[in-house]
Structure 1
Amino acid sequence: MARPRKNEGIRYLAFLKTLPSGSKIYYIKFFDDTGAVFSIRSSGTNNRDKAHAFAGKLLATENFRALALKKRLAKAKQERERIILENELKQAQGTEAERISRMPVVDALALFWNSAESPYLQDLADAGRPLSGHYIAENQKNVNRYFIHFSPFKTVWMADVNFMLIDEFCRQLRKKGASRYIINSAINTLRAPCTWLAARGVMPEISFKGIALPEKKPQERGILSAIELERIVKLETLPVWYTEAGQPRIDTKPRPRLPGKKQNHGMPGVGFREKLAVILGAYTGARLGELRALQWRNVDIQRGIIQIQQNYVDADGMKKPKARSARTVVISATLEHMLIEARKIAAEIGCDGPDHFVLINPADVSKPISQTTIARGWDRVLRAIGISAQEQKARNLVFHGLRHLYATRLIDAGLSPGEAAKLTGHRVLATLGRYSDHVQDETLAKAREILDSALYGKKVADHEHNSMRSKS
């Protein structure tokens, strides 16, 4: 039996609709082969010819027959009718790979990484192996950042993609200065749909080997010195402020607007919440998402421990920590002091319940602090202790570097890599090694003292050291 054409039996009607604003827009009403309406789309135009062209494009690119069958299946009540419709739907969905293969690359990728429409993502979700929302969002960004600006990908069908075209795309990215990481990420955005379509026989298999990637230039994340960390601990923070309605606020108070469109200069002061985020990062080694997810139920000041049990990602919400790295970390004396103060402030605001977040989001206390707020707070803290933006960039001081600092201090304190890994949540010791191979000035000074005492005797070493200093 011949397979029905993709949108066989689907009809449409373009009609003009007046919006509340008074403007008029053509809408497209789609009918299945029984005459039932199953979808209405806005054409976004008041031009009749353009509206019909829009409808024609939808019929050429979207599987309306499958959509119509899904709607009918949802309303079917008799078992026999359901069986017939399910068989027809399976047959119609079998054309999904063919439909994607006959779309321009940019359109195909946009659909492939669309959670609501992608058969690939839906299949993974149905199999109990859904991809993270963050990963899907990154691939969607890649389509809009890189693929949409490569002209051939706007006209070439997915089925016609080949190694030479992909190689040229990567060559263009290299000329624009894209890093090895960016090009690899873009390749992965394309690799998954190519593999999926090839497995369904609608395009040839493509080997991505042989693509020239830029030289790997890892930039080691810088870490704060013990003196700089001590300055942060002693840093004075802005007090809790109150709105005109008398509501206490813990975020940074907006600076007054200046007349004549003048702008405030300098970095705003550091709020207690921003300092707390930095101290938590430095004294627990928690990842950014783990800090955002931290709730008061996870903090036991009496026992001196914090349970790292969740991770917050904007696209996915609350989830388990990366690589099943749930763990317990200790509360140091410095951190205990700040947590006690934080709990008092939270109680004043009414956000000290077990389900409330330690790092409060004043705009919506049911949600954690935003990544943007932490990033801005990090910059303010560094400026407050005398680290300029130029120095921050030169030393590559990023918030995640606090995790490196934590691992470094654990190793320097004498913990074995295995012991330190239990506190940092690393499952692979080699990764911990990358984090803990920083050598701090304090470590060098300690090593010098040990060597001086062991090899020369303290007095001789001090004499020689001071003599060299005077000459220099």
Structure 2
Amino acid sequence: MARSSLSLWKRPTTVPRSFVYYVRIWLPSEKRYSTPKSAAVLAENLGLDMSQLPPSTKTGARKIGEIWLLKGGLKTLKNNPDNPLLADFCLDFWTWDKSEYVEGKIDREQRISKRWCKDSHNRIETHIKPLVTGIRLQEVTAKFLDRIQLKLKKTTKLSTKTINSIMNAVLTPIREAHRFGVIETDPTQNFRSLPLNTKKKGILTTKEFCALLASSWQNEQIRLAVLLARYTGLRMGEVLALAPNDFDIDYEGKPVIWVRKSWSITEGIKSTKTGNTRVVPISDELKNDLLKLHQKNPHDGSFIFWGANENTPFTHRMLGSGFCHQLEKIGIDEATRKARNISFHSLRHMFNSTLRGKIPDPTLRLATGHDDPDMSDHYDHLTDERLSDIRNAQEKYISIKKVE
């Protein structure tokens, strides 16, 4: 039996024996009816005379639905609040203070950062908006998304990774619009991201790192930040967020660091990348040097790597550029550094590579904080023999002593 192309649905109002009619149309490709649209809203969008076609009556609502079908159905909803311009919809979606998506994430205690939203907003404003002028949310198709992606690839010098990030800033809002029934179909379902040819992060050799330690350092903060990242595998944001109260001792009475926060340019103090807390062993010598550095903090602030005022630490930019400056002193100039893909984050990769195979992978993941659902229950205590495994490997395989 063939489905009727049109279906009415009514909802009672607060007025006795009064109803609001909604119209649904059959979607053959999806074998289902569309999300109900208010007959009154349809009449307004179609410019119909509601005195002649009252949307509050079954007959009027049906006639409005039939006219809607004849004029193109879903494609006619140009001024409907559910069919905004694509660029405007995406920009609102990524605006931190007004986004229902962000609010939902926060209410569910799921991770989302202001920096991510700001970056996504900028990607839409800079790269997407010029390409989607006049295009509305309900007009987007998989083919259209494909064309945007290929346009970015052919006409810009952006990396594949950057283009995929730009497209994700569009895909996520569209998926959410479909999830809430704002659009009937999900054009992102069969979308394919560009294949990544990710360049592996380069690391220093042991000889190069020893030469780095032996070079002259004009900034003690940069030197100790480099040593800390090399010895513990901390991310740059985790290094910058370090404070004296993050130090503790393990069950053997040896020093450890509780890695429970990170520093973000836009958000300030926030959780770690995975949202988990981990504990990492540190040598007595390095801990003492870090606490001595903190005593020089001119702001009486909590940051070990202090910045321009007591509320901010040393900046990402200064730490990254300072590290690169030291590399130049041992013969690794900008061209070589870029060719080998070496950055401050390479110290974390160096830590991981050095200890890989020396201790079990699950133990190494505990130290690096790589997200693994099987490991989530292991961050709640210090009395764990895995700490000894990590510490022994650090002392045996990672040297952070300056070679005289």
Q: Residue 108 of structure 1 contacts residue 158 of structure 1 at CA under 8 Å; is this kept in 2?
A: yes
Alpha-carbon offset, residue 300 of structure 1: 4.9
The answer on 1:332 being equivalent to 2:283 is: yes
Q: Residue 294 of structure 2 contacts residue 303 of structure 2 at CA under 8 Å; is this kept in 1?
A: no
Alpha-carbon offset, residue 365 of structure 1: 2.3
- Rounded to whole Å, the distance in 2 between the matches of 1:289 and 1:345 is 18
- Rounded to whole Å, the distance in 2 between the matches of 1:130 and 1:429 is 15
The higher-RCO structure (CA 8 Å, 6+ apart) is: 2
Alpha-carbon offset, residue 149 of structure 1: 2.8
Residue 96 of structure 2: aligned partner: 115
- Rounded to whole Å, the distance in 1 between the matches of 2:102 and 2:371 is 28
The answer on 1:163 being equivalent to 2:142 is: yes
| CA 183–205 in structure 1, closer or farther in 2 if over 3 Å, else same | farther
Among all aligned residue pairs of Structure 1 and Structure 2, give the percentage whose two residues are the same amino acid: 23
With normalisation by structure 1, the TM-score equals 0.57
Residue 171 of structure 2: aligned partner: 191
- Rounded to whole Å, the distance in 1 between the matches of 2:349 and 2:246 is 23
The answer on 1:214 being equivalent to 2:162 is: no
With normalisation by structure 2, the TM-score equals 0.66
The answer on 1:133 being equivalent to 2:114 is: yes
Residue 391 of structure 1: aligned partner: 336
- Determine helix, strand or coil for the equivalent of 1:208: coil
Residue 40 of structure 1: aligned partner: none
Q: What amino acid is aligned across from residue 112 of structure 2 in structure 1?
A: L
Q: What amino acid is aligned across from residue 188 of structure 1 in structure 2?
A: N
Q: Residue 240 of structure 2 contacts residue 305 of structure 2 at CA under 8 Å; is this kept in 1?
A: yes
| CA 425–195 in structure 1, closer or farther in 2 if over 3 Å, else same | closer
The answer on 1:403 being equivalent to 2:351 is: no
- Rounded to whole Å, the distance in 1 between the matches of 2:279 and 2:180 is 46
Q: Residue 418 of structure 1 contacts residue 429 of structure 1 at CA under 8 Å; is this kept in 2?
A: no
Q: What amino acid is aligned across from residue 241 of structure 2 in structure 1?
A: A
Equivalent of 1:416 in 360, 375, 384: 360
Q: What amino acid is aligned across from residue 135 of structure 1 in structure 2?
A: W
Residue 344 of structure 1: aligned partner: 292
Equivalent of 1:272 in 220, 226, 242: 220
Residue 31 of structure 2: aligned partner: none
Residue 372 of structure 1: aligned partner: 317
Equivalent of 2:305 in 359, 370, 378: 359
Residue 25 of structure 2: aligned partner: none
Report which stretch shifted further, 195-204 or 216-225. 195-204
- Rounded to whole Å, the distance in 2 between the matches of 1:328 and 1:173 is 43
Residue 321 of structure 1: aligned partner: 272
Q: Residue 293 of structure 2 contacts residue 304 of structure 2 at CA under 8 Å; is this kept in 1?
A: no
- The CA RMSD measured in Å over matched residues stands at 3.0
Alpha-carbon offset, residue 329 of structure 1: 1.9
Residue 381 of structure 1: aligned partner: 326
Q: What amino acid is aligned across from residue 391 of structure 1 in structure 2?
A: T
Residue 236 of structure 1: aligned partner: 216
| CA 149–321 in structure 1, closer or farther in 2 if over 3 Å, else same | same
Alpha-carbon offset, residue 290 of structure 1: 1.0
| CA 127–348 in structure 1, closer or farther in 2 if over 3 Å, else same | closer
Q: Residue 306 of structure 2 contacts residue 313 of structure 2 at CA under 8 Å; is this kept in 1?
A: yes
Residue 184 of structure 2: aligned partner: 204
- Structure 1 unaligned blocks of 5 or more: 4-97, 239-270, 431-442, 444-472
Alpha-carbon offset, residue 393 of structure 1: 0.7
- Structure 2 unaligned blocks of 5 or more: 1-12, 14-18, 21-78, 375-396, 398-404
- Determine helix, strand or coil for the equivalent of 1:231: helix
* Residues 273-331 of structure 1 deviation map (CA, whole Å, 9 limit, x = unaligned): 11221111111101122111111112359833222121222333323323244222222
- Rounded to whole Å, the distance in 2 between the matches of 1:138 and 1:100 is 26
Alpha-carbon offset, residue 135 of structure 1: 2.2
Give the structure with the higher percent helix.
Answer: 1
Q: Residue 247 of structure 2 contacts residue 258 of structure 2 at CA under 8 Å; is this kept in 1?
A: yes
- Determine helix, strand or coil for the equivalent of 1:189: helix
* Residues 103-128 of structure 1 deviation map (CA, whole Å, 9 limit, x = unaligned): 32222211121122223333443454
- Rounded to whole Å, the distance in 1 between the matches of 2:107 and 2:275 is 22
Q: What amino acid is aligned across from residue 331 of structure 1 in structure 2?
A: I
* Residues 27-79 of structure 1 deviation map (CA, whole Å, 9 limit, x = unaligned): xxxxxxxxxxxxxxxxxxxxxxxxxxxxxxxxxxxxxxxxxxxxxxxxxxxxx
- Rounded to whole Å, the distance in 2 between the matches of 1:429 and 1:130 is 15
- Rounded to whole Å, the distance in 2 between the matches of 1:360 and 1:313 is 14
Alpha-carbon offset, residue 399 of structure 1: 1.4
- Rounded to whole Å, the distance in 2 between the matches of 1:309 and 1:119 is 28
